[in-house]
Chains A and B, each alone.
Chain A
Amino acid sequence: MDYFDRFAVPHPSPAIYVSMVAIGLTVIAIIAGLTYFKKWGYLWREWLTTVDHKRIGIMYLISALLMLFRGGADAIMMRAQLAVPENTLLDAQHYNEIFTTHGIVMIIFMAMPFIMAFMNFVVPLQIGARDVAFPRLNALSFWLFFMGAMLLNISFVVGGSPDAGWTSYFPLAGNEFSESVGTNYYMLALQIAGLGTLMTGINFITTILKMRAPGMTLMKMPMFTWSALVTNAIIVFAFPVLTVALLMGTMDRLFATNFFTTANGGMDMLWANFFWVWGHPEVYILILPAFGIYSEIISTFSRRNLYGYKSMVGSMVIISLLSFLVWTHHFFTMGQGALTNSIFSITTMAIAVPTGVKIFNWLFTLWKGKIVITTPMLYSLLFIPIFTIGGVTGVMLGMSAADYQYHNTMFLVAHFHMVIIPGVVFAMLAALHYYWPKMFGFKLNEKIGKVGAWVISMSTLLAFMPMFFSGLDGQARRMYTYSESTGFGFLNMLSFIGAIGFAIGFCLIVYNIYYSTRYASRDISSDPWDARSLEWATHSPVPEYNFAITPQVNSAEAFWDAKKHGHELFTGEYEKIHMPNNSGVPFIMGCIFFAWGFSFIFGMWIPVIISTIGIFACMALRSFEKDHGRYISVNEIKKTETSRGA
C-alpha cells in the first residue's frame, strides 16, 4: 500500500472528500449516459476525432465555460473566507491552494481557451478559408490544452493542489518549501497546455498569412483577424520562454538541479524573470483578441466602419513589441536599482499610449453611428468605462517609486482584475452572444443576456473597487485572514457581495443557454446582426466546408460592401472541395500526454518511459501515414446549399 500513499491528499478536508465523490459520480453518470443513449460512436466520430476548426472552437468554448465555473468556485471560496475578519471557513493551507489554482485556471485554462474558441471558430471564416493551415495539428493543440487542464484539475483530489501561487516563485516553489506534488502538477500541466498553445500560434500565423481569400490583402483583413495574427506572433515568441522555464523548474523539483534553488549558486530571481518574460506578453495574448472582438462588435452595432483602421493595426503591433519590454515592472521591488526601474517604468507607461488610441478609436466609431444596444454591444459599452479605470491604475502602478507601495497589495489585485475582467471576460461573453447564432443557428435571449451583462459589470465594480482602498490601507494580497483591528472587514465584505453577484451573473448565462436552446426561434437569417465581415456571409450553422464558393474580397468590410454596394462575393460555379480527414491520433496522443504528465508528476519512471515511446510512436505513425484528405462532390455541395435555403 505504500506505493499508493503518494496519491493521498496531504491536507484533506471535508470539502475535498465531497469533491472526490462528486467527481466520481459525474464520471459514472457521463459514462452511463453515453452508453444508455448509445452516443459513444457519435462522440468519437463527430467530436473526439474531428479536425474541423468550428467543432474544435466549440470544444474550446465548452472547456472555457467549465473552467470558468471551477475558477469562479475558487474565487467565491476566497472571498467568503475574507468576508469577515478572523474567519475560519478555510485554513491557511487550503486558502493557499485555492488562490493558486484560481490564478492558474482563470488565466491558462479559462481565458486562453476562451480566446482560442473564437480564434478557431471565427478566423478561418473571416478570411474565407475552409479550415486552418494544419487541421490535425489544431486538433492536437486542443487535446494538449484539454489534457493539461484535466491534469491540473485532478490535483486537488490526487496528491494535492499546487500552493505556491500562480506565479510559483522559487525558492518557495522548490522542494524545500513545497513538499507535496502540487507544484509538479503546476509544472507539467502548464507544460502540456503550453505546447498546445505554441502549436496554435504556428498554425494560425500560417493560416492567416497563407489562406486568405483572393483580394484580401493584409490591410483589408477584419480587425479580429489582425488581432489574432498579432496575438499568435506574441505566442510564438513568448511561449518558448515558458517551456524552458517550466522545464528547468521541473528539473529542479525532480532531478535535483539548482537553477532556481539558491543552494549551489542557483538564482531565485531567474525564475521570476523568466516567468514574467512570458507572463507579461501573455497578458497581451489575452487582451488583443478581446480588442479585436470589441472592434467587430462596436463597428457592427454602430452601423459604421471602424474608426482609424490603420492606427488600430499600428497600435496592436506597437503593443506587441512593448509587451516584451516591460516584464521587470512585476518586481520593481527586487532591488535592481533606480536606473533599471526608471527604464521599465517608462516602457510600462508607454503602453498606455497605443491602448488609449484604441479606446478613442472605439469612441469615435460610435460617432455619427446608429447605435443599437444588443447584449454584445452592451458588454462592449460597459467595457469601455470599467476598463479605463483598470487601465489608468496600470499607469499608476507603472510609476515604480509609488509601486513600492502598491506591490503585493490588494491595489494590484484590483488593477489586474479591473483590466482582465472587462478586457477579456466581457469580450468573451460579448463574443459568446454575438457568435452564438453563427455557431448554433439561434440567438441567445436578449433580455436575459442584458440582465446578465448588467449584473456582471456591476459586480466587477462592487468586487474590485474596494480593493483599491484596502490595498492602500495596507492589506497585502494572498493573506488568508486578517485581524479585526486592521479595519479591512467592511471593504472585504463588499468584495464578497460582488463575488456573489458574479455567481448570479454566471448562472444567468448558463440559464440563458438552457432557455434559448429550448425556446429560441430557429428561424433566423444567417446574418442576424446586420454585420460587416465574411463570417456572416455563409449559413448558420456553418456547413463543414464554410463557403460553397471561395469569396472575392476588395475591402476591409467585404460582406457589408456586398450588402450595400453591390459587390459580388461569390462568383463562379460550384467545384468539388478538398477537406481533411478526421483522425483519432491527436486525441490518443493527448491521452498519452496525460499519462506521461501524470507519471512524471509522481516520479513513476517506467510509465514515463512507456508513454514517451507512445508519443514518439504517434508522431512516427503520422509521418508515415498517407492521408491526402477527401473531396466533397459538387452534388453534395448542391444538396447542402439547397437544404440551407441558398
Chain B
Amino acid sequence: MIKKWSILSIVFTIVTVLTGCEPLLVLDPKGPQAERQASDIMLSIGIMSIIVLAVFVILFIMLVKYRASKQSEDYEPPHIKANIWVEIICVGIPVLIVAYLSFVSVQSNNIVESAPKGYEDKEPLIVYASTSNWKWHFSYPEENIETVNYLYIPTDRALEFKLYSFGPITSFWIPQLGGQKYAMSDMVNTLHLAADVPGEYMGRNANFSGEGFAENTFNVKAMPEEEFDDWVKEVKKAAEPLTEEKFDELLKPGHVGQSTYTGTHLEFMPPPEGENGGHHHGSSKSEKSVDDSHEEHSNQNHH
C-alpha cells in the first residue's frame, strides 16, 4: 500500500507543480461571470478534497488494521449487521454537503444567466456571434459593423452575446471571461459576459463540429471604451461593406483569416429568433428589422 500512496503523491506533485507555473485559464478570470465560476470551482474542489481524504484515510486504516497477515490464523470475522446510526451519518453528511452545494449552484445559475452586476449605468453591448463551418462571425448591430474570427470588446460595459449557427451545433467559449453556451441553427441563445481587465484572450468553439473544429478559434481583445469607440470609427472609415455575395462566400466551409466589414449580415440574413426561429411552423416569414426582434427574449421562444 505504501507503494500506492507514494506513486499517487508523485503524480499529484508533478502535475500540480508543472502546471502551477502559469495559472490555468479557467482559474485566472478576467470578468465577473468567470470569477463566480472560478470561485465555485475552487469551493467544490475544497469540499470534495475533504471527502476524498476521508475515504483515503478510512481505506488506509482498514487495510493496515485488518489485513489477514496481521491477524491470528483462527480469527473468524464476525457477522456484522448494519448500525442505523452509522448509516444515518453516511447519508446525512453527504446530504448536507449536496444541499449546501445545491444552494450555491442555484445562486450561481441565476448570476451567470443574468446581466453581470456593476454595469447598470450603461446599456450592454450586443454582439451577434454566429458560426459557419469553421469560422466565427461577430455582428455589432448598434455600431453596424461586422468582424470575422476576431472580437473587440470594451471593458467597463456589460456584453450580451446572441449566439446562433449556420451549421452544426457549436459552443461559444472565452474561458477567462466566462463559461460557454451553444450556438444552434434554429434558435438564438443569450450569453451574458463582461471583461474587467483590458487584454487579449483566447476564444473558441468548444463543441465538436466536424473536420475544421480544432482551428475554429477567435481572438478576443478587451480595451477601454474610448479605444473601442476609436476602433469602431476606424472600421467605418476603412472597411469594405459586407455584401450578400461576400457573406455567401464567407459561409462556404473552410478556414479564413480575420476580416472586417461595415454593415452586418443581420439585415439580409436575419438570425433565427422571433419570427425567424426554427420552430414557427406555417408562419409567414416577414422581413423584420433586427432592432425589433432582439427585444424579444429569443431563447425562450423556441417551443
Contacts and interface: CB of A to CB of B under 8 A. Distances in A.
A172 B208 contact: yes
B2 interface: no
Contacts of A164: 208, 210
Interface string B45-70: 10010011001101100110011100
B87 A396 contact: no
B182 interface: yes
Interface in B140-195: 163, 167-169, 171, 173, 175, 178-182, 184-187, 189-190
Interface residues of A, number: 99
A402 B40 contact: yes
B52 A392 contact: yes
B37 A404 contact: yes
Given A368-B78, A407-B206, A469 B24 contact: yes
Interface stretch (A66-74, A153-161, A348-356, A574-582): A348-356
A309 to B, nearest CB: 7
A303 interface: yes
A396 B108 CA distance: 13
Nearest to B272: A262
B19 interface: yes
A385 interface: yes
B79 interface: yes
Contacts of B184: 262, 268-269, 334-335
A265 B278 contact: yes
B175 A369 contact: no
B105 interface: yes
Interface string B1-23: 00110011001101100110010
User: What bracket does the count of chain B residues touching chain A fall in?
Assistant: 35 or more
B186 A267 contact: yes
A366 B181 contact: no
Given A311-B82, A409-B206, A476-B206, A481 B214 contact: yes
A337 interface: yes
Contacts of A349: 98, 101-102, 105
A399 B189 contact: no
Given A262-B185, A304-B77, A338-B113, A400 B56 contact: no
A426 B175 CA distance: 34
A467 B7 CA distance: 18
A307 B80 CA distance: 7
A616 interface: no
Interface in B61-102: 62-63, 66-68, 71, 75-80, 82, 86-87, 90-91, 94-95, 98, 101-102
Main secondary structure of the interface of A (DSSP, over half): helix
A479 B213 contact: yes
Query: A267, A335, A407, A478 — which one has the most chain B CB atoms within 10 A of its CB?
Result: A335
B98 A177 contact: no
A61 to B, nearest CB: 28
Contact of B113 (A178, A337, A367, A477): A337
Interface in A168-226: 169, 171-172, 176-178
A305 B208 CA distance: 48
B167 A385 contact: no
A104 interface: no
A405 interface: yes
B208 A401 contact: no
A515 B37 CA distance: 52
A126 interface: no
Nearest to A408: B206
A462 interface: yes
A256 to B, nearest CB: 18
B66 A371 contact: yes
A370 B91 contact: no
Interface string A349-384: 110110011011101101111111100000001101
B221 interface: no
Interface string A408-422: 110000000000000
A92 B212 contact: yes
A372 B63 CA distance: 10
B182 A333 contact: yes
B110 interface: yes
A461 interface: yes
A474 B182 CA distance: 16
A345 interface: yes
A334 B164 CA distance: 11
B207 interface: yes
Nearest to B104: A399
A96 interface: yes
Given A262-B186, A333-B179, A474 B25 contact: yes
A304 to B, nearest CB: 4
A396 B206 contact: no
A104 to B, nearest CB: 14
A267 B278 contact: yes
A366 B101 contact: no
A408 B209 CA distance: 12
Contacts of A268: 169, 184-186
A465 B15 contact: yes
Contacts of A364: 80, 86
A402 B87 contact: no
B207 A363 contact: no
A359 B82 contact: no
Contacts of B173: 408, 476
Nearest to B303: A267
A345 B4 contact: no
A487 interface: yes
A399 B105 contact: yes
Contacts of A26: none
A408 B48 contact: no
A92 B167 CA distance: 18
A366 B63 contact: yes
A485 to B, nearest CB: 10
Contacts of B125: none
B237 interface: no
Contacts of B213: 92, 96, 478-480
Contact of A177 (B18, B75, B77, B167): B167
Contact of B98 (A353, A382, A408): A353
A279 to B, nearest CB: 16
Query: B7, B45, B82, B163 — which one has the most chain A CB atoms within 10 A of its CB?
Result: B82
Given A96-B210, A341-B109, A408-B180, 16 more contacts: A171-B168, A177-B133, A302-B77, A303-B68, A311-B82, A333-B179, A338-B106, A353-B98, A366-B62, A369-B77, A388-B55, A398-B105, A402-B40, A402-B41, A408-B206, A408-B207
Interface of B: 3-4, 7-8, 11-12, 14-15, 18-19, 22, 24-27, 34, 36-38, 40-41, 44-45, 48, 51-52, 55-56, 58-59, 62-63, 66-68, 71, 75-80, 82, 86-87, 90-91, 94-95, 98, 101-102, 104-106, 108-114, 133, 163, 167-169, 171, 173, 175, 178-182, 184-187, 189-190, 202, 204-214, 278-279, 281, 299-300
Interface of A: 92-93, 96, 164-165, 169, 171-172, 176-178, 262, 265-269, 272, 302-305, 307-311, 331, 333-335, 337-339, 341-342, 345-346, 349-350, 352-353, 356-357, 359-361, 363-364, 366-373, 381-382, 384-385, 388-389, 392-393, 395-396, 398-405, 407-409, 454, 458, 461-462, 465-466, 469, 472-474, 476-482, 487, 490-491, 494
5 contacts: A92-B214, A93-B211, A370-B66, A371-B63, A400-B108
The 7 closest A-B pairs by CB, nearest first: A404-B179, A401-B108, A172-B168, A392-B48, A335-B189, A366-B62, A308-B82
